[in-house]
Structure 1
């Protein structure tokens, strides 16, 4: 993964309608947080949106590709992140619609997790 801070600035402007976003470096790339939840990754000039069974079909139909990377043993690992559709790269309104669907996916995932037991 590679992250360019100038790309982070573009993302902040492109997704400004979402309100405050936090971008944190992660494994050479970066993650984008909305209200404390990761909903996207940044890598090599690509916005990768979080997906689940509800928004993944629409991303696939829009021509997005799934995030994948090679492992040390030669396997290919995929993650539940899909590229921002090309049509949204130049259209902030469309990009925000896709991002909101990814935020919803992040919220669904968080609500499905079992609550942590308090430490004694």
Structure 2
């Protein structure tokens, strides 16, 4: 763990227990099971949404970006926290709470908008159904054979009569 991450962790102790996972060559910061921040190259990025994006823009901050698989630049909803906020404990906790609220809001919206896949139970095919379907196929084949035999008999009898 980097010294910067340890410093941030100490300053956010008042907000409750936090956990960390490796991400983008840095760390994802979690409160419970909810990710709300990232620490990458000694920079802190908080989750940003419509309610707090203007504050980051007015502070001259930009979102975290990375190069995707196809080489295109990908922007995510995490913006660098301004230096002034990092220096003031009260401001840092205030921005933290806004970030966590945005992360929770985004998570709840995602749960609502993604329809759950319906699990449709497959009908069990019992032996009786299989055997009955085989019987009907066999009956159809037998009926075809009989009709073919009849037409063959009719044509052969007509030929005999005509001679």
Counterpart pick for 1:58 among 55, 58, 62? 55
Give the 5 Å matches for 1:35-50. 35-50=32-47
CA–CA distance in 1 between the matches of 2:70 and 2:116? 36
Give the 5 Å matches for 1:73-88. 73-88=70-85
Contact 1:62 1:85 in 2 (8 A): yes
Structure 2: segments with no counterpart, 5+ residues? 120-163
Return the offset for 1:119. Answer: 8.3
Return the offset for 1:5. Answer: 2.4
Return the offset for 1:118. Answer: 7.9
Question: Taking structure 2 as the reference length, what is the TM-score of the superposition?
Answer: 0.64
Structure 1: segments with no counterpart, 5+ residues? none
Return the offset for 1:73. Answer: 3.9
**Structure-2 residue corresponding to 1:20:** 17
Structure with the largest fraction of strand: 1
CA–CA distance in 2 between the matches of 1:30 and 1:65? 19
Q: Deviation per CA, 1:50-104, whole angstroms, max 9, x where unpaired? A: 0111111111112222111233544221111111111112112111111111000
Contact 1:8 1:23 in 2 (8 A): no
How many residue pairs get matched? 117
Q: Per chain length, whose mean CA-contact separation is higher, i.e. which structure has more relative contact order (CA < 8 Å, sep 6+)?
A: 1
Q: Aligned-pair RMSD on alpha carbons?
A: 2.0
Contact 1:23 1:33 in 2 (8 A): yes
